Structure 1
Amino acid sequence: MAKAAHRAPAAGARVLGLALGTRLTLRAGATLVVDGDSRIVVDPGPFQSLAELAAALQPHGLTPADIDTVYFTHLHFDHYTPAAIPPGVRRVCIPAAERAFIDALTPLAADLDAYRARLLETHERIAPVFLREFVRLARDARYDFARLPYADRLVELGPDARPSAHTRTVALPGHCPGQLGLEVTTAHGTVLIAGDAVLSLADWQAPDVSHHLIVHERAALIASRERAGRADCVVPGHGDWFSPRSGRVLAADSDLIASTGVATA
């Protein structure tokens, strides 16, 4: 039986994997942070319903009703979906710079050629498969922020915000304009939920970022990856947790990362 995640240890929060991301299927990873009485789900994009979220939480002794905060590292479609946001959630946190970019882009949705052109103008690279999907979602209701059912609980964050006692937002731009990773202090080291600043261990070990299919600003992306390297454990957007120092794959549970290759704090 899985260990219940009702409460984090006094020395820090606990971080647990809810869904492992993959690159081949464009499935993003989803993560649970338990910090005292706060329970945060990060990037629930892989869940297409509350039932799917409930199934992922069940091994940890939780239900969607136990979640008080949903946190999105960025607003790309594979990470950001309203389908699995619990109706009773207290806060839905998004990066302020990401919303500002989308709010500026949305008026062009009436002319999809103009919308497509603006995306190409504002990014150094967008692979055709992603460009088509972004254009397809130009009028998607998830980006009509003022009309979302949780609009009154939408919280826009910048860098160095503290969603809970042992978490802090970290600016990780480059993949997109305003991505905010979530840095978590645990009893066994620092865990950085990196969104798509780091896609996977293989991505981390690559000599450059030329293989990235979405690049808003290359120099910023490289700087964000350097920032990710300070953590004891990186939770990438589309792959296994890993140690940026040793290059070893780690267990998707911060209580176990010390025994799988990370030096304890």
Structure 2
Amino acid sequence: MVKSGPIDLAFVLAEGYKDIPHTFYSGHGAAMVRRQLNKYHIPCALSGIESMEICRNKDLTYIKLKEKNIPIPGYFVFDTHLRFNKIKLLSQIEKIGFPLMIKPAGGGDSIGITPKSVVHNLQELKNRFLCLKKELGPEKLIIEKYLPGREYTVGVLGSKAKKYILPIIAFPKDHGIRYTSTKNKEYKMREKFEIIYRDDERFKRLAQTVINTFDAVGASDAIRIDFMEDESGNPYIIDVNGTPALSLTGSLT
């Protein structure tokens, strides 16, 4: 860095370190990269350290959104280093009810999410819990109410002072669970996606929630927000991505 002269700006999409795999799914990788850049006084694009910690840890995301009365699904956090205690789990599950969605609290890129992430009873929940514990180690999990409706994703550009909401992408109603394997193929089926523009009532309905979410997580430059509808068509935020894919095959583009 010193030999090549000063660096004006680092455009960073990295979510962790390849030689430290757990940084990708612990939720701390993106912030670690930015701390390293700060050490060398290199400014970087996209959101800062604190915002990345919030966006890459879904439990922190949900806390921030709930504080601002932004709709999120009913959920609770479960640590995989704890024993699978049916009695304690049932007391939590009774508050939101089956079916449930179980996913890692940290990281991104749909790590740990498959069609089996939707569980309908305690045995399925236990099986998925054990699978994630084996795959990811002692990481926190989000167990939330599964929402069976349509999924939407929307990109936001800007800053706290001024924001621009991109057209909303609505996935087909029968699209199913979106995870790494299906996302990698989505660019081939874009003609099936519905693009919702600013003059659409659905765009207007989601716009203020999108702006409030951008501010709630302290974002800057660009983020992507994912919504899922319940059986009555009410939208809830299920993810806020601080490092949205900007490639030709990414959902933001």
Task: State the TM-score, normalizing by the size of structure 2.
Answer: 0.30
The answer to which structure, 1 or 2, has the higher relative contact order (CA under 8 A, 6+ apart) is: 2
Task: State the TM-score, normalizing by the size of structure 1.
Answer: 0.30
